[in-house]
Amino acid sequence: MRHKRTMRHKRTLVLSTVAAAVVGVTTWIALPASAAAPTATLRTVSDWGSGWQSEVTIKNTGAEDMKSWKLEFDLPAGGSIGSYWDTDLAVAGSHLTFTNRSWNATIAVGSSLTFGFVGAGGKPANCKLNGMPCAGNGDVITTTPPTVAPTTRVPTAAPTTQPPTSAPTATTPPPAPKPDESVSVPPKSDILPVKVTNDSGRGENVFLYMLGTNLNTGKLGYVNADGVFTNWTGGGSVPVPAPDVAIPGPANGSSVTVKMPKNLSGRLYMSFGQKLDFRLTNDGLVQPAPWAGADPNRDILFDWSEFTLNDGGLFINSSQVDMFAVPHAITVTGGDGKTLKTGELKPNGRQRVIDAIKASPDFAKSVVTRGDGTVLRVLAPGKAADAGLMNPTYLDGYITSAWNAYASKNLTVVPFSDQPNNKFIGRTAGNVMNFTDTTGKTVASFTKPSTANVWGCDGALGAPNDLVVGPIARTLCAALTRGTLGTLDTQPSGTAADFYKGSAPNVYGKVVHENMVDGRAYAFAFDDVQAQESLVHSGDPRIAGITLTRF
């Protein structure tokens, strides 16, 4: 569930109203030496707070064909560029220079070309195109205020326009979610019943929240128990308390049914013993971020599932991308009466995960315990590092070794199992890994990522929603997170038995997967590479379920 999700490092988590919409447009116009000159336009197509994706369009509005092009700008302190495509990049401190590749050097009169990149930190300034200063004395002119991406993840519940990323046909993923017991099938409706069952064995009150984006309007809001969606209103420059929209949840040993309206994408939160504290800003909803020391929800036991209900049906997953907290299984029953289930832990699985993390010196501090002795959550590595509970450079040595391995051999990326001839070949030169397609054309380049980039699948591994750069980035992030890059030279490849080994293993991902009944989990943003994710889908959903299991 791509649910790239979209987040990340040490920022206020804000649910924005623009999800996949264009979030910013910046125009750079070269000042003409004559009556007409080429122009360059930068369009920020996605901004998720900790990073952004931009495209540059160069249009030849001059009188002669352009034989080459060079676009350069400066980034403020802390800014960086990760992956980029259809261009070459030279970096000198904070000054970046993008130049044509051999196949896109010429731009005929009246024609244009586009290249793109993923960045983090501050946006470009002091632009020049072929040596000519851009409008506004080279400063960036923003015509649409930037916004923040909608969730704390890079993946989303709904499928994107890119084909699903999975392993080559030779790879054996974990078994698909199996049909569970048959249940009574409600009639087809635009309101989907979601049965929440409390088998946790805990006596605290449970509170539920159904929050998300109305896909018909793009508005953010909440849903009551009867399935009525209401837009959020209010908010300010300083976050203010959101209205109390909690739905009373089931007592231990019982169930409640809430209703989910069609064309909603969001989260269903569940908390024990205390209501969650949500805040509203001018930009949207501030969601709980308990890895941040000042978050008001840090001492509450809670978790969430993520979902999208649209014309494609219901996509719903359990998520461990940010943390492992409340064990819960998720189900969906289709019109044929068959029920699919995933997310179920093995007996005593929660405690086994906690014990295994505590036994690892590098990960032990990511287990968060409340003053009364309740283990609230195990933070995912990136969030633990953000909170100062884990070495922020834990993967750096492994990343360097894996990256350098391809200075002397090829990395073959085959991102789509149903397209075995759609291959990309990667080779490393310095800190950059360049990928060519089957014609030899360079189609994507990635700078060596940091540990934080790998844990978050962002920054240098930012994955645009396209059919080339995004699938390669997803594959690289999955291979680095699982520790197979550098040893398995075709990616994706291997099986669960090959994952989470090596000099710097991801103990979190390993033990979370090991303790799932079906081996599936969303232990990082692109765990859906090779179908490892804990997601169920029905194109004809009639009833969904969330069962809070014993712990």
Structure tokens at 207: 């509170």
The catalytically annotated residue of 72, 283, 303, 322 is 322
| Strand pairing class (191-198; 255-261) | antiparallel
Contact between 507 and 515 under an 8 Å Cβ cutoff? The reply is no
**Rounded CA separation 434/424 (Å):** 10
**Cβ distance 502 to 398 under 8 Å?**
yes
Reduced to 3 states (helix: H, G, I; strand: E, B; else coil), residue 87 is coil
Active site annotation includes 540: no
Determine the Cα–Cα distance for residues 113 and 422; give it in Å rounded to an integer.
24
Judge whether 306 counts as a catalytic residue: yes
Closest CA to 535 of 359, 361, 383, 308: 308
List 306, 386, 458, 528, catalytic entry:
306
φ, ψ of residue 550 in degrees (nearest 5):
-65, 140
Is-contact 357 363, C-beta < 8 A?
A: yes
Distances from the Cα of 518 to the Cαs of 176, 250, 319, in angstroms?
8, 26, 15
Q: Please count the other Cβ atoms lying within 10 Å of the Cβ belonging to residue 201.
A: 11
The Cβ-side half-sphere exposure at 535, using a 13 Å CA radius, reads: 30
End-to-end CA distance of the chain: 26
∠ CA 60-82-486 to the nearest 5 degrees? 130
Q: What's the rounded Cα separation, in Å, for the pair 472 and 488?
A: 15
The three-point CA angle 159-493-167 to 5° equals: 25
DSSP 102: G
Question: What are the catalytic residues?
Answer: 306, 322
